[in-house]
Amino acid sequence: MPDYDALAASIAALTHGETDEVALMATLACEIHHASDRFDWTGFYRVTEPETLKIGPYQGGHGCLVIPFSRGVCGAAARSGKMQLVPDVDAFPGHIACASSTRSELVLPVFGAGQRLIGVLDIDSNRPDAFTARDGEALAAILHDVFGGL
């Protein structure tokens, strides 16, 4: 389990004063990805038009380029505005296999000021059941601290 307090402090220092969403996403993708060897793919999908997510900054192999809100784990997080903790992606109806190595997934909605949906943070693991609610809660707090005022 990553030291989320140290991760949050590092991210706060690196992003202090930055307001560009893409720059912030790039920094967070890198820092979060390297925080745990469970994280096989870490990245953002950005809301670029109604009901559509497009790939943003990420670490790992190639991701899907476009994900509609109506499909997959990322779409479910965007559609519902709620964390999606998926211990077995094969058991998730409508899962989109961007990488065949993905076994489990954690996706968090990313909100700016006024609860405006900016995108989702998607973390994949090549291990089954790799994520806990604690991972989701700690990462959601980091996302809120970084993006909540934008």
Crossing angle (nearest 10°) for helices 133-147 and 21-33: 150
Mean of pLDDT over the chain: 96
Mean pLDDT throughout 65-75?
A: 96
| Residue ranges of domains in the chain, CATH in brackets | 4-147 (3.30.450.40)
Per-residue model confidence (pLDDT) at position 49:
96
Sorting pLDDT into bands at 50, 70 and 90, what band is 45? very high
- Contact status, residue 128 vs residue 88, Cβ threshold 8 Å: yes
Mean pLDDT throughout 34-56?
A: 97
What percent of the chain has pLDDT above 70?
A: 100
Q: Which helix (H) or strand (E) holds 136?
A: helix 133-147
Provide the CA 88 distance to its chain's centre, in angstroms: 17
Per-residue model confidence (pLDDT) at position 25:
98
pLDDT tens per residue, range 105-136: 999 999 999 999 999 999 999 999 999 999 99
Alpha-carbon distances, residue 10 vs 16, 27, 121 (angstroms): 10, 10, 18
pLDDT over 90 at 103, yes or no:
yes
The model's pTM is 0.97
pLDDT tens per residue, range 8-30: 999 999 999 999 999 999 999 99
- Contact status, residue 49 vs residue 66, Cβ threshold 8 Å: no
Per-residue model confidence (pLDDT) at position 31:
98
